[in-house]
Amino acid sequence: MHVATTISEVREHVAAARAAGKRIGFVPTMGFLHEGHLSLIDVARADGAEFIAVSIFVNPKQFGPSEDLSRYPRNEEGDRRLLEGKDVDLLFLPPVEVMYPAGSQTMVTVGGVAKPLEGERRPGHFDGVATVVLKLFNIVQCDVAAFGRKDAQQCAVIERMVRDLDVPVRLIFGETMREADGLAMSSRNSYLTKEERAIAPLLQRALRAGEDALRRGGSVADAERAMRSACSGVEIDYLSVVDPLTFEHPADLRRELLLAGAIRIGRTRLIDNIRIQSPP
């Protein structure tokens, strides 16, 4: 695995792989890797990627002033070992000055789909995500890029950006990887104390309670009430039933629906979602 810290190194390695006829797959991450990230490498390979690039960059532009940028978990050595074990070809580890040199002024803003839920609670977050992802796409120039569905709204925002700005990248999405008790894997789970970790699966259970309410013929309000009552005792950011294209309340309950939630347990903010494929 080659480790690159500059844009020119990345371009050189990717150009050589492309000249050798390889399809380039890319998995952007913020590091502190877990099975969820590693599964995206498999998803890219299953899509035909023959050269895998992974980036690790804790992007300051997607953190709000009161968020966890300074304590975001890092484990560069462990991450490198995991990526070596997955036969990754190129790891891009850019310093902040490489991604945002002094004087850089341009941000990417996605419209409607970036506004509700996470967009409302984390102002500027998706501008930061869209900006860094577009920059990474321009640097790596991959054929296919893989993202995890745990960040469902992020997937939708990136999909919208790629379509609106004619970015020549095929997007693929990997399913959320879960611990045995249902907790969605996330680097931020490492913040949880033992006691907090024990109650964390309640978010997934709440989403399932919302699904049950819909399947019993309940309304969006019934489902949201069921989710809230399953989360009593913890701080709720949102627990919503939305249209997975708009992230607004669905106009039609017979279409695919997304049940999405964000809660806070202690100092840790957890998000999760489930999709309901068939009409309830």
| Catalytic residue annotation | 37
Burial of 225 (0-12, 13-18, 19+ CB in 10 A): middle
* For ligand PAF, the closer CB: 29 or 204: 29
Say how many C-beta atoms besides its own lie within 10 A of residue 140's C-beta: 25
Helix (H) and strand (E) counts for the chain? 10, 9
One-letter-per-residue 3-state SS of 88-139: CCEEECCCHHHHCCCCCCCCCCCCHHHCCCHHHHCCCHHHHHHHHHHHHHHH
* For ligand PAF, the closer CB: 59 or 189: 59
Q: Is 161 in the site for ligand PAF (CB under 6 A)?
A: no
Window 203-232: residues binding ligand PAF (CB under 6 A): none
Using CB under 6 A, count the residues that bind ligand PAF.
10
Strand-pairing partners, residue 19, are none
Stretch that binds ligand PAF, among 27-35, 94-102, 160-168, 173-181 (CB under 6 A): 27-35
- 86: Cβ–Cβ under 8 A, 6 or more apart, which residues? 38, 41, 52
* For ligand PAF, the closer CB: 190 or 193: 190
* For ligand PAF, the closer CB: 132 or 220: 132
- 220: Cβ–Cβ under 8 A, 6 or more apart, which residues? 214, 241, 249, 250, 253
Window 54-73: residues binding ligand PAF (CB under 6 A): 59, 62
Burial of 280 (0-12, 13-18, 19+ CB in 10 A): middle
- Give least dist CB 30 to ligand PAF, A: 4
Cα–Cα distance between 239 and 241 in angstroms, integer?
7
- Give least dist CB 230 to ligand PAF, A: 26
Q: Considering only residues 33, 83, 133, 152, which one is a binding residue for ligand PAF as defined by CB under 6 A?
A: 133
Q: Considering only residues 4, 17, 30, 114, which one is a binding residue for ligand PAF as defined by CB under 6 A?
A: 30
Q: Is 83 in the site for ligand PAF (CB under 6 A)?
A: no
- Give least dist CB 198 to ligand PAF, A: 26
- Give least dist CB 239 to ligand PAF, A: 21
Cα–Cα distance between 201 and 205 in angstroms, integer?
6
Q: Is 29 in the site for ligand PAF (CB under 6 A)?
A: yes
Cα 272–Cα 124–Cα 55 angle in degrees, nearest 5:
65
Q: Is 132 in the site for ligand PAF (CB under 6 A)?
A: yes
- Give least dist CB 26 to ligand PAF, A: 10
Nearest to 271 by CA among 259, 257, 279: 259
Stretch that binds ligand PAF, among 77-85, 87-95, 96-104, 129-137 (CB under 6 A): 129-137
Q: Is 28 in the site for ligand PAF (CB under 6 A)?
A: yes
Nearest to 241 by CA among 233, 228, 232: 228
Residues engaged in binding ligand PAF (CB under 6 A): 28-30, 59, 62, 129, 132-133, 151, 154
